[in-house]
Amino acid sequence: MDFSTSLTDKLASKTGSSNSLDSSSKSSSLGSKHGGGENGVLRDTPFSYLDGEEDQDQKNDVTYVCPYRGPVFGALTITNFRLYFRSLPLRDQEPPVVVDVPLGVIARVEKIGGATSRGENSYGIEIFCKDMRNLRFAHKQQNHSRRTVFEKLQTNAFPLSYSGRLFAFAHAAANSVNGSGGWNGWAVFEPLAELRRLGVPNDMWRATKLNECYAICDSYPAVWAVPKAASDDFLRRVAQFRSRCRLPVLSWMNPRTQATITRCSQPLVGVGGKRNSDDEAYLSFIMEANAQSDKLTIMDARPSANAIANKAKGGGYESEDAYKNVEINFLDIHNIHVMRESLRKVKEACFPTTDDSKWQTAIDNTLWLKHIRCILAGAVRIVDKVETMSTSVVVHCSDGWDRTAQLTALSMLLLDPYYRTVRGFEVLIEKEWLSFGHKFQQRVGHGDNKHSDADRSPVFLQFIDSVWQVSQQFHNAFEFNEHFLITIVDHLYSCRFGTFLCNTEAERVAEDLKHKTTSLWTHINSSLDQYLNPLFPSFTHGAELVLRPIASVRSVRLWKGLYCRWNPGLCAPQHGCQRTRELLSKQDQLFRHVNELRLKSNNRSNNMQTTTRLASPMH
């Protein structure tokens, strides 16, 4: 990659909005499909509509109970994509209070107060969001406005619970009619091309489409990389001894040493300690594919007690007696239920109010930073084995689609600078999270009203948080900035794009998401300038090839830019996108100046050489 041009060449011609949830939107008015005024007169709208966005309800006498400024009176608009409130300023020059929330962000909606409620603002609706916010709107009892607002929020925020479809489908359909053009984000990741980048196929590894119809493992991708010594029939037998048939397949290979990272689920050893000769031989194939080492390391993401307890359910872990030349390490990362409760405590600590005297204690009690530190520490241990010891590593947890993805993706990010570019990070998410079956639908709850579902958990959020933690220790190692990461988190929930919909690659193929929805990467790559890091090396390949972050409590800190962004007392307003564009523009000027100086220097050298030759005595 030519770092001298990588940033400046990517500056988009248009300036994107700094609001990650509302950029690249389409201006419209409250007419035709967006709702007309009386006698068909069109009215101006306070925000820009997206393609496919249509009005569902509007109330002009709603009070937003702001936890920081107190009650503010204004108008509430509900579309099939968002809830939008704008206050009516009481004084000239007073900026309005604006609340703009994609409906996909909403976790649940509850009515507050009843017919007998008499207190001010005691009758209305409370909205609980997945992005750390709670919103409360008060309605007047006499006009029954609450009823229709509640019904519209329910049916549009949770369409799958009401036989509807997510907004991503309407958005893409309207976008194709109106002409989207531009770059196709669905083309970012091509499995065979990524394997070729890693050096596969080679003497020891091959690519296979054995799972092309998702018949061997319905939660795995269609294309795998496996040891060449393993036949397709052998792979089928090995799959039967792994939970959910998720047998070990290649995630990453060190091009210099051939040490690998493979991922899988737990073996089905059970209480009786069952053995499987095919599974044992298969791990030997993985070890032997690396000529640099005669050992194989298994990184089990779970606490050892949890791994032992899983034996009672038919699972468990590899015995070092049964698997020769294998060492097993437990990384003490807790399960999805522990993480869900931890994030709930973070929300309580950050929103809506905080006690300065108890702030640090409150954050410590969430255990969130402890969990992030464990994920970082686990990834660093994998990096050490692969890079320093040249030992291949197998990573798994229970089913191999939550903690396993955290560890493989983060360790690959630390090992391979490609994944620290914008394009590479998009490939990393497509590969390690989407194609390998992280259950985004169940973990996030897209479009359903089952807010208390035990399958919901912030697993992917923890990965993005971990990436941010690394970026804070290595400021110039990443081509992308914090806004890029926050944008990904926002659209994890928004349901505007098809990227994070469904649970598996098989489901996405069945839903034909590549043709019926738009990719998030299309949106990001069409306005790339706002996501670039001005500190990323441009003159030299100066970024470290392998990153080894410090995974200690002292080095891990709360990501206020994400978790506290709605609390003005904890997070000052950010103008990062504008600042980024200014720095990139300045950098472009410096590039030109340096090139001019180099050109002058080269011309001067050439002139001196010419003069010297002319002045030389003739013999």
Minimum mean pLDDT range among 176-180, 188-192, 424-428, 524-528: 176-180
How is the chain split into domains, by residue range?
Answer: 2-21+577-608, 55-157, 194-563
Q: Is the pTM of this model over 0.75?
A: yes
Give the per-residue pLDDT at 576: 58
Give the per-residue pLDDT at 573: 55
Could you tell me which residue, 232 or 544, shows the higher pLDDT?
232
Pairing of strands 70-79, 55-66: antiparallel
pLDDT at 468 over 50: yes
pLDDT at 86 over 70: yes
Minimum mean pLDDT range among 83-97, 340-354, 393-407, 489-503: 83-97
Contact 305, 411 (CB under 8 A): no
Residue 33 banded pLDDT, cuts 50, 70, 90: very low
Q: Which of 220, 259, 252 is nearest to 236 (CA)?
A: 220
Give the per-residue pLDDT at 163: 95
* Sign of torsion over alpha carbons 342, 344, 346, 348: negative
Contact 362, 563 (CB under 8 A): no
Residue list for the binding site for substrate: 310-313, 335-336, 397-403
Cα–Cα dist 27/42, whole Å: 13
pLDDT at 121 over 90: no
Could you tell me which residue, 544 or 305, shows the higher pLDDT?
305
Give the per-residue pLDDT at 437: 98
Residue 353 banded pLDDT, cuts 50, 70, 90: confident
For 519-554, the pLDDT digits (tens) are: 999 999 999 999 999 888 765 454 579 999 999 989
Q: What percentage of the chain reaches a pLDDT higher than 90? A: 75
Q: What is the DSSP letter of 314?
A: T
Contact 225, 250 (CB under 8 A): yes
Contact 74, 86 (CB under 8 A): yes
Burial class (CB within 10 angstroms; exposed 0-12, middle 13-18, buried 19+) of 432: buried
Give the per-residue pLDDT at 145: 85
The residue type at 616: S
Three-state DSSP class for residue 132: coil
Give mean pLDDT, residues 421-443. Answer: 98
Query: Is there a cis peptide before residue 248, judged by omega within 30 degrees of 0?
Result: no
Which residue intervals of 186-333 are DSSP H helices? 191-197, 232-239, 277-288, 304-309
Residue 604 banded pLDDT, cuts 50, 70, 90: confident
pLDDT at 445 over 90: yes
The residue type at 314: G
Give the per-residue pLDDT at 570: 79
Give mean pLDDT, residues 210-234. Answer: 98
Minimum mean pLDDT range among 280-289, 331-340, 429-438, 581-590: 581-590
- Tell me phi and psi for residue 109, to 5 degrees: -125, 130
Cα–Cα dist 13/602, whole Å: 32
Minimum mean pLDDT range among 276-280, 478-482, 585-589, 594-598: 585-589
pLDDT at 170 over 80: yes
For 316-328, the pLDDT digits (tens) are: 999 999 999 999 9
Give the per-residue pLDDT at 535: 87
Give the per-residue pLDDT at 575: 56
Cα–Cα dist 269/311, whole Å: 7
For 40-59, the pLDDT digits (tens) are: 333 456 789 999 999 999 99
pLDDT at 237 over 90: yes
The residue type at 491: H
Give the per-residue pLDDT at 29: 31
Give mean pLDDT, residues 257-274. Answer: 97
For 244-264, the pLDDT digits (tens) are: 999 999 999 999 999 999 999
Give the per-residue pLDDT at 13: 36
Minimum mean pLDDT range among 11-25, 39-53, 494-508, 592-606: 11-25
Residue 354 banded pLDDT, cuts 50, 70, 90: confident
Residue 157 banded pLDDT, cuts 50, 70, 90: very high
Domain 55-157: top CATH class: mainly beta
Mean pLDDT of the chain: 89
**Strand stretches in 113-164, DSSP E:** 124-129, 134-138
Could you tell me which residue, 115 or 376, shows the higher pLDDT?
376
Cα–Cα dist 404/423, whole Å: 22
Minimum mean pLDDT range among 190-199, 354-363, 451-460, 608-617: 608-617
Contact 139, 146 (CB under 8 A): yes
Q: Which of 161, 151, 165, 130 is nearest to 450 (CA)?
A: 161
Q: If you search the block for the tokens 């969990």, which residue do you land on? A: 371
Q: Which of 29, 75, 22 is nearest to 50 (CA)?
A: 22
Instruction: Point out the residues that are catalytic.
Output: 397
- Tell me phi and psi for residue 491, to 5 degrees: -85, -5
Contact 286, 229 (CB under 8 A): no
